[in-house]
Structure 1
Amino acid sequence: MIRNYVKIAWRNITRSKGFSGINIAGLALGMACSLLILLWVQDERSVDGFHANGKNLYQVYERKYYDGKVEAAYETQGLLADELKRVIPEVQYASGLDWTRPVTFQVGSTVNKVEGNYAGADFFRMFSYPLLAGNPNTALDSPNGIAISRKMADQFFGSPEKAIGKAIRYENKEDLTITAVFENIPANSSQQFDFLRTWTAFVKENDWVHNWGNYNPSAFIQLRPEADPVKVEAKIKDFIHRYLPKNKSFRVELALQAYPEKYLHSTFKNGQIEGGRIEYVRLFSFVAMFILLIACINFMNLATARSAKRAKEVGVRKAIGAARTALMGQFVGEAMLITCLAMLVAISLVVLILPAFNNLTGKQLALPITQPIFWSTLLGLLLVTGFVSGSYPALFLSALNPVRVLKGSLRFSPGATNFRKALVVFQFGLSVLLVVGMIVMYRQMNYIQTKNLGYNRENLIYIPLEGEIGKKYDLFKEEAGKMPGVLTVSRMRGTPTIISHHTGDFSWPGKDPNQATSFADETVGYDFVKAAGLTLKEGRDFSKAFGIDSVGFLVNEAALAKMGYKTGVDQPLSWGDRKGKIIGVLKDFHFSSMHETIEPLIIRLDEKRSWGTILVRTEPGKTKEALAGLEKVSKELNPSFPFTYQFSDLEFTKLYQSEQMVSQLANYFAILAIFISCLGLFGLATFAAEQRTKEIGVRKVLGASAGSVVALLSKDFLKPVLIAIIITTPIAWYAMNRWLQDFAYKIDIEWWIFALAGGLAIGIALLTISFQSIKAALMNPVKSLRSE
């Protein structure tokens, strides 16, 4: 019997090649999309899930109450991790972690720039990064020790075994000893580094960590197996105030987050963890489900619409005793066969698309064909898709009355017709929702990229201030300024793209001594305003012509307002023990992500710092010339360090990689959803034209024009599309308005966005329908009336 069912199913597939092709194409596209998203979601959920101690690992974060608001962040005090381990018995291990700028290493003639971190002595006891050589208990104990990756060991020494105990030159200023070699960090780790220096070295190089009012590193702890994290969190809540006084205007609380959850849940709102990348994981999980559902709806619609072709077959089978369950099994089996064919096509599509998908998402995904869970997922996807797409047609066809069917042609009940229309409404509703999302995301990303940031990121180059250039900066600036294409050279601790350092160590006349405040702060060199392309509202830039600038300050408008000054120039201001005056007020500019509002910023002069960033403003159209000259000067003054640089506009773009990825994927998924929906609409229009062949012939004989026939056939299909637009519009507005809430600076969702999305849906649907409608309208009525 099963063999007979398979033969019948294959015969029906080959007999109606066009409709079978539409079904297979729609299901294949839907399943390919779902597979890609499932691979991405699985990879996202696997990040940081490989640590053996994961259930006991926690990251400490701080919740600060000041200025009438509450903020939370992962930045903590430099001594916090070690103090928690020393004071809290439930803490078994603890480690600080702080990122270093890319640094230069040298062994013999091999020179390379590498990124890494400072980490505590317990780091390898806590995290499952396998050591290829060395002891995890002592790898990060020695002040002059360093742990390096397999990749770094291969680059400098040829192998991990040869690296142990050897010396490596760090920043051309000290020799460090290789104490351990660890396996290359896997792609599904949120921590990425190629070397680790000891926390002892970090404390030695950063004396500010002894001030508990300063914060920057991350702190991680591993609780003992029997410890209750809720009780530990309550115990350490006020831990900071063992070292800092508590007052009404300023309070700090410590809290814990399970480390494996941090990657997906890392956004803070009102001092609480709320959202993060998990929102994108959920979003695309829904998108995968919706697109697959759209494809399944295509199958349902086409199968039920073409049920007239199978009606007599069902009638005969029922008349000779076929049970309804047997008929349902046959039709679901046919759906499964089509789904199997679609699955083969889908897997082929995934293999072809995966390299481009990886490039877009920044992943290293591959079909895990050796993992049983992959085949289980494929089987589950196959069964779900086949059952969902085949269930309604099977129920509908198996319920046909054999007497009525064998007496004449099948007539659809209003309920069946309305159900098919409802499915079309659902299909296009999801498509319109995705199109609105595509337009809003594109406009928001375009707004971010084109918004006036308050500084000119075009033709601005960042060069690391390192090595001999730190000592010979004045000479570098002088020589670089002579190079073709170079307009201005300056320096700063960070970059205009991101200024992350904060302090509350400011005072001014009239400030309430009990009022805690926080300002972003930065140190810069002469000509900073000109090099960064900032605008002065009043006053001037730092200049060698004024000796008092060593105790002068630049502030932005937000800082001036926070201090309560109406005008800024010559107003007194103190930064710790440094007393001075404001020499200039900058118009507010964005120095962090547009997810955040512009903070108060205070800048002071510092030409002595040996590290940081050199800012080079180049002449438009002459960047290539300028880079050639800068490289020449750099090699002459700093031969032990490779010349590296970043473009300001590209660094700014990196702040929104996740949003840009989501926007691009939304574009592709919206196009795909509409295409799959139109495949089904095309099939329905084709079938409708076939069913009404004689009616069209009669109308044309009676004088109906081709245009009126096209309108007649089109209106029935456009109604569901219009209903879909009406229903979806408020849902789309709510969803996109919620997405935009994550941005402090955002576009308005205007009415024309919904009109454009609706117009696109109607236009594409009309084009899809009109092909068959026009073909039917132009048919010779004689042939129409002669057809069976």
Structure 2
Amino acid sequence: MIKNYLKIAWRNLTRNRVQTVINVAGLSVGLVCSLLIMLWVQNELSVDAFFKNGSRLYSVYEQQHFDHKTNGSYNTPGITAGEMKKVLPEVEYAANLGFGQNNTFQVGDKVLKQQGTSASADYFNLFSYKLLQGNAQTALNTPVSLAISRKMATAFFGSPQAAIGKTIRYENHKNFTVTAVFEDLPKNSSQQFDYVVNWFNFLEENSWAREWGNQGPSTLVMLRADADPVKFEKKISNFLDTYSNLNRKTATFIIDLALQRYSDGYLHGNFEDGKITGGRIEYVRLFSIVAIFILLIACINFMNLSTARSVKRAKEIGVRKVVGAVRSALIQQFISESLLITTISVAFSLVLLVMLLPVFNQVTQKQLVLPFNQAAFWGRLVLITLVTGLISGSYPALFLSGFNPVKVLKGTLKLDAGTTTFRKGLVVFQFVLSVILITGTIVISRQMNYIQSKNLGYDRENMIYIPMDGNLAAKYNLFKDEALRMPGVQRITRTTNTPTNIQNSTGGVNWIGKDTTINIQFTQASVGYDYAKTMKLQLLEGRDFSKDYPTDSVGYIMNEAALKRIGYKDPIGKPLTFWRKPGTIIGIMKDFHFNSMHEEIKPLIIRLGENEQWGNILVRTQPGKTKQALASMEKICKELNPSFPFTYYFSDEQYQKLYQNEQIIGRLSDAFAFLAIFISCLGLLGLAMFTAEQRVKEIGIRKVLGASVSSLFALLSSEFLLLIVISLFIALPIAWYAAGQWLQSYAYRSPMQWWIYALSGAIIVLVALATVSLQAIKAALINPIKSLRSE
């Protein structure tokens, strides 16, 4: 029976080749999109989900209450983990984790920069990364312990086995002993590093992290198997009060601690009013919906074309019923045809998938592979095939199998209004989805262009920053003097923070008239002389830091947002105390963006730090001479700092990285919107071809009676254009709301102007018109003699 169904199905497919090609092409493209998104979503969901005791592994985060608002942050005091393990019996293991580092290591003559971090001794007990050498208990238990990756061990020592117990020079001032070698971290780990040094090293280099009043590192805990996370979270809420001698009744800055399962952090990393509200999970949900939409559009094409050709198959169905075919057998026949087309489409989609996956990986910056060796993948593929085949074929099967054989064989069968309306409704629905995707693409593209073109308040072009590794901090003035004499170098200053990432904040600012009942947090940074000139910041009042003014060591420059909070009317020369260090305001700079545009510009105070022993050298090069300037500075660095490789970063490239996710989403949206339109237009083309075929004699009669080609074109096109217009009326309000919700995540955003929606409508109308017009014109130009010859 099944063999017979398949044989008949194959004959029908080969008999109606054009319809078959359109159906297979539409379903194949839809399936490719869905499978690509499925692989991406699966990869996103797998990040950090592979740890052995992941259900008991938690990040501790802060909810900071101040200035009548609440902020959320993963930053905690650098001694929180040790104290929690000491005093809280529910904690089995705990570790503080430092910031991402890029440090220099040396063995013999080999000097390499490596990405790494600092962590407490329990780190490898928390995270079940595979250790090739050493063990989790002793990997980081001494001040000179160092755990390195297989890649780093091979680079320096030839193999993981040879690395154990060996000495390696760190930043040319300290020796570490390799106590463990771990397998290179999997790509679905949110942490990516090649070494981990003991937490003693972090505290030694960052003495501020020993104080309870300072936040920065992350705190991670693994609860005992019998511990209740909900009760534990309540227990630690006021944990910091004891150590900071806090009186909650009078305090103006209060910190509560809370828990988040570590594996959730990658996808749920955004805070709103101190609570975790979302993050990358929103993009996972968005593209999961897009995958379903695109597959639905392809399925709708199949339904439409199948029901549209129902009159062609009416006599076949009538004859089958007369000779005894029951409705269930006919339904099985049509479902088998649908499943056959879907199976062929899946085969084509797998070929396309293999071809497109490298491009998709390049766009998404992933390393996805097709898991052909996994039974689960084939299981999901079979499930997708069955679901797609059943959705595509269900309505046509029910519809076609319900024909009355008497009417069919008498030739009096007509499609009722309900059937026609349903078919038109399907067309409207798929174009509604297409319009929403087009509008979303335009909005995302405009926001990205807005971010690229918006005046940041400083000039990020022709600006380089160089990390002050090794002896470069101590020899900064010598480097500056020599570099400024080199061709291509315009200005040089120094800063503790890069221009796109000034995060440090403090409440230790006082001024005349301050309301002591409110704790205002100011972002702060330490900079060198001529910082404003090098950055090309606009000074509204006062001046830049200059070595001509010795009192600048207690001088402060602030932005407009900080001045607004302080409230001085004539600020220049007014007193300001920063970290109990009295001084005066010497300059007011126009607000500039020193973080992502997701955040509002915060109050910022910069102070002079010409002699800081860490940070970055900021260099402004002359336009068109950056390459020449870099060659000169590399030569100087090799002379002054020979034990360290010359490392530099372009300011504009670092700015682009702030919006890496959005750029990926934008490119994917462009591609999927185009494919959705392509699939929709394939279905529209099929319907137009069928409509023209059904009305060929009507067109011949109209031409004989004097109808012009243009009037016939309008007649054939008007029905489809009306459906597109209805789609626009439904889709545009939905698109407006969805785009508005997405833009809410940006503090600074491109305005939602009316022409965006007009453009979306125009694109879909023009594409649909171009699709239909070719077939309409072809039908209108047919010689009426040929079309009426059989009468």
Instruction: Give me the TM-score of the superposition, normalised by structure 2.
Output: 0.99
Separation (CA, whole Å) in 1 of partners of 2:345 and 2:101: 50
State the match for 1:521 in structure 2. Answer: 524
Residue 52 of structure 1: how far off its partner (Å): 0.7
Separation (CA, whole Å) in 1 of partners of 2:101 and 2:604: 23
Separation (CA, whole Å) in 2 of partners of 1:764 and 1:438: 16
State the match for 2:58 in structure 1. Answer: 58
The equivalences for 1:680-759 within 5 A come to: 680-759=683-762
State the AA in 2 paired with 1:342. Answer: S
State the AA in 1 paired with 2:637. Answer: S
Residue 410 of structure 1: how far off its partner (Å): 3.6
Separation (CA, whole Å) in 1 of partners of 2:190 and 2:100: 16
Residue 374 of structure 1: how far off its partner (Å): 0.2
Separation (CA, whole Å) in 2 of partners of 1:197 and 1:384: 51
State the AA in 2 paired with 1:170. Answer: Y
State the match for 1:508 in structure 2. Answer: 511
Indicate whether 1:318 and 2:302 are aligned: no
Separation (CA, whole Å) in 1 of partners of 2:431 and 2:568: 56
State the secondary structure of the residue aligned to 2:500: coil
Aligned partners of 1:132 and 1:181 also within 8 Å: yes
Separation (CA, whole Å) in 1 of partners of 2:494 and 2:609: 9
Write the deviation string for residues 451-508 of structure 1: whole angstroms up to 9, x where unpaired: 1111110111111111121121111111111111110011111111110111112212
| Greater Cα shift, 475-484 or 687-696 | 475-484
Aligned partners of 1:466 and 1:610 also within 8 Å: no
Write the deviation string for residues 333-391 of structure 1: whole angstroms up to 9, x where unpaired: 00100111100110111111111111111111011011111001100110011000011
State the AA in 2 paired with 1:288. Answer: A
State the match for 2:779 in structure 1. Answer: 776
State the match for 2:312 in structure 1. Answer: 309
Residue 223 of structure 1: how far off its partner (Å): 0.5
Separation (CA, whole Å) in 2 of partners of 1:255 and 1:199: 23
Residue 697 of structure 1: how far off its partner (Å): 0.3
State the match for 1:338 in structure 2. Answer: 341
Indicate whether 1:191 and 2:188 are aligned: no
Write the deviation string for residues 737-781 of structure 1: whole angstroms up to 9, x where unpaired: 000110000122111111110111111000000000000001111
| Greater Cα shift, 509-518 or 64-73 | 509-518
State the match for 1:372 in structure 2. Answer: 375
Match of 2:261 among 237, 258, 264: 258
State the match for 1:388 in structure 2. Answer: 391
State the match for 1:7 in structure 2. Answer: 7
State the secondary structure of the residue aligned to 1:176: strand
Separation (CA, whole Å) in 1 of partners of 2:140 and 2:506: 30
Residue 514 of structure 1: how far off its partner (Å): 4.1
State the secondary structure of the residue aligned to 2:278: coil
State the match for 2:76 in structure 1. Answer: 76
State the secondary structure of the residue aligned to 2:520: coil
State the match for 2:132 in structure 1. Answer: 132
Residue 659 of structure 1: how far off its partner (Å): 1.1
Residue 683 of structure 1: how far off its partner (Å): 0.3
Separation (CA, whole Å) in 2 of partners of 1:180 and 1:2: 61
Separation (CA, whole Å) in 2 of partners of 1:236 and 1:782: 89
Residue 567 of structure 1: how far off its partner (Å): 2.6
The equivalences for 1:172-191 within 5 A come to: 172-191=172-191
Residue 513 of structure 1: how far off its partner (Å): 3.6
State the AA in 2 paired with 1:22. Answer: I
State the secondary structure of the residue aligned to 1:583: strand
State the match for 1:667 in structure 2. Answer: 670
Residue 392 of structure 1: how far off its partner (Å): 0.7
Residue 409 of structure 1: how far off its partner (Å): 5.6
State the secondary structure of the residue aligned to 1:471: coil
Residue 591 of structure 1: how far off its partner (Å): 0.6
Separation (CA, whole Å) in 2 of partners of 1:568 and 1:225: 58
The equivalences for 1:25-174 within 5 A come to: 25-174=25-174
Residue 787 of structure 1: how far off its partner (Å): 5.0
Provide structure 2 residue ranges, at least 5 long, that are not aligned to the other structure.
none
Separation (CA, whole Å) in 2 of partners of 1:29 and 1:130: 40
Separation (CA, whole Å) in 2 of partners of 1:110 and 1:325: 76
Residue 208 of structure 1: how far off its partner (Å): 0.8
State the AA in 2 paired with 1:695. Answer: E
Indicate whether 1:411 and 2:418 are aligned: no
Separation (CA, whole Å) in 1 of partners of 2:489 and 2:540: 26
Write the deviation string for residues 143-200 of structure 1: whole angstroms up to 9, x where unpaired: 1111111110011111111111111111111111111111111111111111111111
State the match for 1:487 in structure 2. Answer: 490
Residue 101 of structure 1: how far off its partner (Å): 3.0
Write the deviation string for residues 42-65 of structure 1: whole angstroms up to 9, x where unpaired: 010011111011000110000011
Aligned partners of 1:461 and 1:616 also within 8 Å: yes
Residue 248 of structure 1: how far off its partner (Å): 4.2
State the AA in 2 paired with 1:374. Answer: F
The equivalences for 1:641-652 within 5 A come to: 641-652=644-655
Separation (CA, whole Å) in 2 of partners of 1:625 and 1:575: 40
Aligned partners of 2:317 and 2:400 also within 8 Å: yes
| Greater Cα shift, 560-569 or 140-149 | 560-569
Aligned partners of 2:494 and 2:527 also within 8 Å: yes
Aligned partners of 1:534 and 1:587 also within 8 Å: yes
State the match for 2:564 in structure 1. Answer: 561
Indicate whether 1:296 and 2:296 are aligned: no
Match of 1:592 among 586, 590, 595: 595
Separation (CA, whole Å) in 1 of partners of 2:790 and 2:448: 56
State the secondary structure of the residue aligned to 1:719: helix
Residue 4 of structure 1: how far off its partner (Å): 2.1
Residue 511 of structure 1: how far off its partner (Å): 1.9
Separation (CA, whole Å) in 2 of partners of 1:735 and 1:719: 25
Separation (CA, whole Å) in 2 of partners of 1:418 and 1:515: 64
Provide structure 1 residue ranges, at least 5 long, that are not aligned to the other structure.
none
| Greater Cα shift, 462-471 or 450-459 | 462-471
Residue 100 of structure 1: how far off its partner (Å): 4.0
Write the deviation string for residues 75-96 of structure 1: whole angstroms up to 9, x where unpaired: 1111111111111111111000
State the secondary structure of the residue aligned to 2:636: helix
Aligned partners of 1:468 and 1:638 also within 8 Å: yes
Separation (CA, whole Å) in 2 of partners of 1:3 and 1:657: 52
Aligned partners of 1:96 and 1:220 also within 8 Å: yes
Aligned partners of 1:467 and 1:638 also within 8 Å: yes
Residue 139 of structure 1: how far off its partner (Å): 0.9
Separation (CA, whole Å) in 1 of partners of 2:241 and 2:137: 31
Write the deviation string for residues 670-704 of structure 1: whole angstroms up to 9, x where unpaired: 11101100000000000000000000000000000
State the secondary structure of the residue aligned to 1:515: coil
Aligned partners of 1:694 and 1:787 also within 8 Å: no
State the AA in 2 paired with 1:190. Answer: S
Separation (CA, whole Å) in 1 of partners of 2:2 and 2:511: 88
State the match for 1:530 in structure 2. Answer: 533
Residue 710 of structure 1: how far off its partner (Å): 0.4
Identity of aligned residues (%): 58
Tell me how large the CA RMSD over aligned residues is: 1.1
Aligned partners of 2:508 and 2:580 also within 8 Å: no
State the AA in 2 paired with 1:19. Answer: Q
State the secondary structure of the residue aligned to 2:473: helix
Separation (CA, whole Å) in 1 of partners of 2:327 and 2:461: 71
| Greater Cα shift, 51-60 or 746-755 | 746-755
Indicate whether 1:272 and 2:275 are aligned: yes
Separation (CA, whole Å) in 2 of partners of 1:640 and 1:204: 22
Residue 577 of structure 1: how far off its partner (Å): 3.1
